[in-house]
Amino acid sequence: MPWILLGTSLLVSAFVSLRVKNDLGHASAWATFAGGLLISGLLFVLLRMCLNTRGKAVRIADQQTADALAESEIFKQSILDSLPAEIAVVDHSGKIVAVNQPWRQYATESGVTPGETAAAVDVGANYIAVCQAGIDFIQDGALESSMAASGIRAVLDGRLPSFSMEYPCHTPQKQQWFFMVVMPMGKMASGGAVIAHTNITPRKLAENQLAAMAGTLEKQVDERTRQLRQVTAELTMAEERERHRLAQELHDNLSQLLAAIKIRLSSLGAGRADTFQPSLDEIVVLVEQANRAVRMITMQLSPPTLRILGFVPALEGLVEEMRHTYGLKVDIYTESQPQRLDDVILAVLFRSARELLINVAKHAGVNDASLSYRADDKQLTLLVSDDGCGFDPEPILSMLSAKQSFGLRSINERIVALGGRMEIDSNPGFGCMVILTLPLPIITKETSVS
């Protein structure tokens, strides 16, 4: 560059000297040449100063640009470092181009060499390759590693707008859980993506603790429910035994006494035609009515046929009672009967069937009903149905919960106490079906009380 400037100066000086010589004519050539040199030197100095100024300006602009870029990188890195999540920025191939301080700290703490950042997750490493490597080497986290690699790749390819997942990252020293979010750096993630890992261990530990507490509470509730069912079953059995005792007392004492009174009154009036005979006859009729009432009460308290003949014959007798007392024709269907059940269980089922059939006679508006009984080695099912007016079962179920509707509530409580359930299937105008189910293993367990 200086030689170009010098040559330019000489040419300019020669031009100037010739021009001066032509103008003056008598000037000496040396004087003219000296003047040209002076002018050339001045031009050279001016040009040199201009070039130096321009170079300095360029250097200043370059330095300012470099400083601005450095400040921008520092600014971005400061923002990344200020975030509590562990963050890495990857390019479109999955290569890590930037990480923040929490990321480096975790990588250092979990690295193979204490105090050194794990190279596999530092700047320059391919994070997708790291996740894919975890599929083969992390036995308990293979599924999570595969999901993470697929999710990151999907975001980078633009197939997903974002991706997130929770995953465990346990060590022999402690248990840890993280929440990963992958967001694209641009609409199509062509500029890469930001991957953030947030430690959610306190939340997961709290959730696990709550789940454990809920499990313990559920076990306590189940145990308490079992105990309440046991107590209710014992009370039910005690009530049935008391019913049986009262029925036996009525049959052995009051019924026999009424029969003796009837015989005695009949013998007093035999062969007499006095004025007392009509009164005696009326008394005999009243005693007979009282005796029938006692037998009816005895039957309701504890049917003798249930104890003597068994459950199915007792149901057949109940069918006859419904026809004679209420004018209700009942079709009965029975299947094989299992091994002999406890008399208390049979008494509860019998009285439940009787109560349901009486409800049909009083409220269904029909003269026909069906009674089905089925038993196998697993459960016992009793079904009462009709084609009557039907009803909306929801209010009835609400009344059962509110301890109203005494008849159905009593049936439901007794069946539930024995470990069973009562189901009601009905609609207005389409009849009603009530199903009582008792699991036989529960029957055996719940009723084995001395």
Tens digit of pLDDT for each residue in 309-320? 788 888 888 899
Instruction: Give me 154's structure tokens.
Output: 């999907």
State in Å, rounded, how far the first CA of the chain is from the last one.
121
**What percent of the chain clears pLDDT 70, i.e. is strictly above it?**
70
Q: In whole angstroms, give the CA distance from residue 65 to residue 189.
A: 27
**Better-scored residue on pLDDT, 284 or 73:** 284
* Amino acid 336: pLDDT: 64
Tens digit of pLDDT for each residue in 255-285? 777 777 877 777 776 655 566 667 777 777 8
Largest CA distance in the chain: 200
**pTM for the whole structure:** 0.47
Residue type, 160: L
84-199 has CATH 3.90.226.10 classification: no
* Amino acid 115: pLDDT: 47
Instruction: Categorize the per-residue pLDDT at 190 as very low, low, confident or very high, splitting at 50, 70 and 90.
Output: low
**Among the ranges 259-268, 363-372, 410-419, which has the highest mean pLDDT value?**
363-372
Q: Out of 194-203, 261-270, 402-411, which region has the weakest mean confidence (pLDDT)? A: 402-411
Instruction: Categorize the per-residue pLDDT at 241 as very low, low, confident or very high, splitting at 50, 70 and 90.
Output: confident
* Amino acid 307: pLDDT: 74
In the three-class reduction of DSSP (H, G, I as helix; E, B as strand; rest coil), residue 324 is classed as: helix
* Amino acid 114: pLDDT: 45
**Better-scored residue on pLDDT, 22 or 131:** 131
Q: Out of 7-16, 54-63, 121-130, which region has the weakest mean confidence (pLDDT)? A: 7-16
pLDDT at 164 over 90: yes
Q: What average pLDDT score do residues 64-77 get? A: 68
Q: What stretch of H or E contains 390?
A: none
Q: In whole angstroms, give the CA distance from residue 151 to residue 165.
A: 9
Between the alpha carbon of residue 120 and those of residues 91, 127, 201, the distances in Å are 16, 8, 24
- Which residues share a beta bridge with 183? 194
Tens digit of pLDDT for each residue in 127-152? 988 888 766 555 566 788 889 999 99
User: Exposed (0-12), middle (13-18) or buried (19+): which is 362, by Cβ within 10 Å?
Assistant: exposed
pLDDT at 446 over 60: no
Instruction: Give me 262's structure tokens.
Output: 């009837």
**Among the ranges 118-122, 178-182, 189-193, 300-304, which has the highest mean pLDDT value?**
178-182
CATH 3.30.565.10 residue ranges of the chain are 309-450
Instruction: Categorize the per-residue pLDDT at 14 as very low, low, confident or very high, splitting at 50, 70 and 90.
Output: low
Q: What average pLDDT score do residues 324-329 get? A: 90
Q: Which fold has domain 309-450?
A: Heat Shock Protein 90 (3.30.565)
CATH 3.30.450.20 residue ranges of the chain are 84-199
* Amino acid 449: pLDDT: 39
Q: In whole angstroms, give the CA distance from residue 140 to residue 146.
A: 12
Q: In whole angstroms, give the CA distance from residue 55 to residue 29.
A: 39
* Amino acid 29: pLDDT: 57
Q: Are 130 and 121 in contact (CB under 8 A)?
A: yes
Q: For 270-392, where are the alpha helices, taking DSSP H only?
A: 277-301, 304-308, 311-326, 343-359
